[in-house]
Structure 1
């Protein structure tokens, strides 16, 4: 919103002040020659807009208001259908005004203009118009679906079209909102041109409520690409549950809210099939799954081939790494690593584990001869990146000192 008083209007006001009592008396008698006391006239003929009546405006171009025939623009307000003001700039001489704020595609706007003629009389014009719909829409699908998750669960945003340009990425990222109670510092990270992940600096605090939504609809992203609709999600974070497996000690310790609640003898991957080190996040659970060696590239008939019914399986990678019941290896559990990469335990322990963890809980492996879990291509390895590395994947925070970039002002906010 831009407001300005013209020199003529200021002169009229200054001249009127010494005669205030006289003017008040004249008003009380029912008459006045003061132009400020008159009802504003219709200035439709004296004010022009660069939007033709009956036509839709191009949202990529500014709206312009111009004065005609000696009129002077004194004030302009422009609002969208929700009543939000669009920024603009008024020329010093009051001859024109133009919008400087971004317009949305497929939106309705109202412009209210105040004017003053050479005699100081006040005019008004109100005009409404619509902007053209977008040529292409960029939609956002948030994940996971609303529900209760563990403290390691990242938020995901899948875009309907690729976005590569850094400036366009910044536009998108600025509209993706993550609000939480309690507030936690966090940032988005561009996994690729169509996928973003959001995580806090540290694991989510237990029992946090996280609301995720986008303010992207109608916003220009790049060229003819504008933001489309999206559906919000709400995540409720459960207890802080972490399972830490020491592959060298053949043991898993499960912690709940910082307290060790169970120690489980396990077997992990043998040489050639070593279990991945690092932090993983529970992806899903299956009470029964058929596991075959061919699914991980083991040829049928080889010495390592297997085809087994497996119960109480908790998945931690998309490639097939689970924590599951392995009654066939109970003699090795706690003593030797003999699996093909999964973490095996007794049926009773696997059932307990299955019942006490949920999607999003942390499963960490240390002391294995295997490689470290990758961040994005085989599940949620997001936590294996340092916070500094994570911020470098943000279009708003990359290259900026923590606490100074736009991403820091758009971090998780407390819900009021």
Structure 2
């Protein structure tokens, strides 16, 4: 009976070591750091073991192999008499001893596999951080007790790794792909809401998208000529109630400053004519090149503290205007959009009405398209059509891509105003 208790104790100790090995190896650094920030000293100890795992794994293997050998020696002797007493009821031939040994060996091996290996490792894989913080203290004491053996085997392992030019320690670098994989898993299991998932995904797009995807293009800019009449100025403010207006002499490429609409409205409220004078004109215009990514543009706005920026191309020509709100909409998307602002309107289950200025990355998300072809050459859906056709498209013309039909609905001048995107049904 004492031998059976020894076997049970060996299985229990082996299970503890097997569980510790998997739990500490599988614990996620991000979650452990959160636990450390919450004041968990044991989580900090687990992180320390992960940073220098050589000694820990050497100790685990020494302990597991010693227990396995001891279990084999004790187990066969402990179970053989009981097994033999059962077998003898059915068989009493010359192979009785060999048969008892084989059955005893199978039973001991099965017990160790099931209760000392599979079950504890499954538990450790399911909740690695919880198990790791519970066992880390005892594992550190065992490592200290086996220090001579640990130093010997760990040093020998490091020497062999160095001979084969294999890194002795793991370098943990969290890549964008890792974060995206975690986001996908969180969204799949419901721990990450759809809005949160979309928002985080949009943040990663900031570096891949450029100002041209969110700015108001040149033809949509409402501006004042310095010599414009009072009636025209008043009409523009009424029809386009913006906070700021650019002021130029002749055309947009000859900017002289900007003016706030409230200054002009103040004149009107006083009964004066709406005119632009030097006192209200701000000549400090904030320029940004169109080649900036949204991330770079946000940093530029943060440093400049300006409400808007004039976007110029490499020839110093004005191509658009962008505000902080435009940039925020670039990654906040529907969270700050209002009724009437939508660039993509779903008509039915298989068709969408799309503004020509819609960024292709936004449409790709709606249509569940992995990526548009050669996307580095354009930013908008209109740009996609122009690039694909190699010319300016006309009304009712269309192209097909990835199971969708992209048909031009409205063209104003040379600009594609709207498209109808419909799923091609077989």
Q: TM-score range by the shorter chain?
A: under 0.3
More strand by share: 1
TM-score relative to the length of structure 1: 0.20
The TM-score normalised by the length of structure 2 is 0.20
Which fold has the larger relative contact order, with Cα–Cα distance below 8 Å and residues 6 or more apart in sequence? Answer: 1
More helix by share: 2
Which of these two proteins has the greater Rg computed from alpha carbons? 2
